[in-house]
Structure 1
């Protein structure tokens, strides 16, 4: 009976009514009817007030706290909602709010740890797969030579060159991993300077022309030759961004395709756009192409080469420049990658713009 609010309220109400009736009986003018009515009224009021107070301010909140603690003990935090109480008459409700906030924080922590654990599993699987290929290939060539093929000069040179190529691929992978890790941890510092972005892209195109010609891919380079495209950024890192994006546009284009590179000035920025007419990227893969080792078509990408870290590095470089990489793609029609950098305005460019405006 004493385990719920009604039982406690009944006992306390009877006690209050009895004390009140006894006090009234001491007064000579009080009649029995008056004392009974007063006692019944006091009992009813006391019972209602005590029951409501115990039920809503104590027992219900204790029940909520117990349920919440039971969920925390069972680690079942999926349906816990964020409930904040600005003010309340019950201190237990405030305690409930604090415990609820703690439970939500624990839930977020568990979700983060789960995602990190999943990421670590995927990363270990990916890095094991990436390392396995060049290591096994090099082992195969060297063991073949040790088994007697080293006596044949032609076979020896061919296998040594293949082993060296596999080790070069392994070195590129390790260097990309180190670079990405240093960027994420903030070890690599950016060195900003003013330079002409058009000249940088010219250098990248000149470097990749041979690869484009092997696939008979035409590079279309669009810009205004009358103006300068001065930006303030880390030149070697932006070179790597352009190199990676243009190289991908060539590598994943179809044979005899076209890569369009555009450089356009905005109000305060320079916009770089790289478009190809290759196979395109499915919508479900667009959000993940900047993850480590993620490949849209794993078999095809493996055949084409690469570490699977290029776009992840591009993303981190541009984030270090307070910019971001944007991508849009249509399957069967190609992809467009774009990013922007701050534009450094020159006096001669402003005069050129004013002159063009007056002619219009």
Structure 2
């Protein structure tokens, strides 16, 4: 479909330009036949060329805008198709896993240690499914402009610890938190919780078993500053500016190794900007990403 659209567009562009040249040639030729005065012919040719140049610029600009719009639509279509593939995979995998665990518990008599391990894995898959559905619903609310922020006094260190204990409950990840215990800031607690959850999920996804997360926060000039870093592989420099885009995943859905639906960092960006904040990301000198957030 993408190739067919491009072929049609460039064929029409070539046709318009050829017709323009053919029209200009005949107009000049007709003027020469009607009037053999060289001075008049010269003025007439200049007028035709001038008007033709303006016409060409307008046509060229219009074609460029059309081509740009087609490109954006095709990119969005590809992202949406990628999203459908990823969300299908993300739904089927935990559901199938939980079903298998429940069937195992129902059909076999297991030792208490083994039963606890299966229950732990089932709960992990359920949490993963719940987090993914929550992200999809949150994106829908953002897109429909239905989400409203409700600022309230929040103890930042407590919120960070809640997120870490919840998201990293079944993962071995070294987490270092540098945040004053008495730091209270007025912000939307759900939004802050979601920002930290998605950044943590992102770190766990790419850093793997040897995951290391460092969170630093402080208050300065009436703003809350959060620095969140991990030790993952990082992101190619040319793709850093686009990682907050909706549906974006750096891997192909048919060959990917990591989990996710390409919504987490989009939500993070929207929740930061929605509260009048700023967010930036860069690759660390060693390895991993550093997210700098100011609310």
TM-score of the aligned structures, taking structure 1 as reference length:
0.57
**1:215 corresponding residue in structure 2:** 172
Residue segments in structure 1 that go unaligned for 5+ positions in a row: 14-46, 66-92, 342-360
Give 1:265's match in structure 2, choosing from 207, 216, 219: 219
The correspondence of residues 1-360 of structure 1 with structure 2, limited to 5 A, is 3-10=29-36, 13=37, 47-48=38-39, 50-57=40-47, 59-61=48-50, 64=52, 96=55, 100-101=57-58, 104-132=61-89, 134-135=91-92, 138=95, 152-154=107-109, 169-191=128-150, 193-196=151-154, 199-209=155-165, 211=168, 214-223=171-180, 228-231=183-186, 233-249=187-203, 252-253=206-207, 258-296=212-250, 299-302=256-259, 306-330=260-284, 332-341=286-295
Q: Cα distance, 1:162 vs. partner?
A: 7.5
Structure 1 residues 220 and 138, CA gap change in structure 2 (3 angstroms): closer
Residue segments in structure 2 that go unaligned for 5+ positions in a row: 1-25
Q: Cα distance, 1:140 vs. partner?
A: 8.6
Q: In structure 2, how many angstroms separate the alpha carbons of the residues matched to 1:142 and 1:218?
A: 32
SS of equivalent to 2:66: helix
Deviation digits for residues 173-227 of structure 1, max 9, x if unmatched?
3432231132123122222x3424xx1332222441472795250413144x6x7
Q: In structure 1, how many angstroms separate the alpha carbons of the residues matched to 2:192 and 2:60?
A: 45
1:290 touches 1:311 (CA, 8 Å); kept in 2?
A: yes
Q: Cα distance, 1:272 vs. partner?
A: 1.1
Deviation digits for residues 73-114 of structure 1, max 9, x if unmatched?
xxxxxxxxxxxxxxxxxxxx5xx3xx7436524531342233
| Alignment root-mean-square deviation, CA | 4.2
Q: Cα distance, 1:164 vs. partner?
A: 8.2
Q: In structure 2, how many angstroms separate the alpha carbons of the residues matched to 1:53 and 1:252?
A: 69
Greater RCO structure (CA 8 Å; 6+ sep):
2
Deviation digits for residues 106-153 of structure 1, max 9, x if unmatched?
53134223322332233223322331354367469869999xx89825
SS of equivalent to 1:287: helix
How many residues are aligned here? 260
Q: In structure 2, how many angstroms separate the alpha carbons of the residues matched to 1:288 and 1:109?
A: 23
Structure 1 residues 209 and 182, CA gap change in structure 2 (3 angstroms): closer
2:79 touches 2:247 (CA, 8 Å); kept in 1?
A: no
**1:349 corresponding residue in structure 2:** none
SS of equivalent to 1:281: coil
Q: Cα distance, 1:56 vs. partner?
A: 1.2
Q: Cα distance, 1:274 vs. partner?
A: 1.4
SS of equivalent to 2:138: helix
SS of equivalent to 2:72: helix
Q: Cα distance, 1:327 vs. partner?
A: 0.7
SS of equivalent to 2:148: coil
Structure 1 residues 55 and 259, CA gap change in structure 2 (3 angstroms): same
Q: In structure 2, how many angstroms separate the alpha carbons of the residues matched to 1:119 and 1:254?
A: 30
Q: Cα distance, 1:286 vs. partner?
A: 2.0
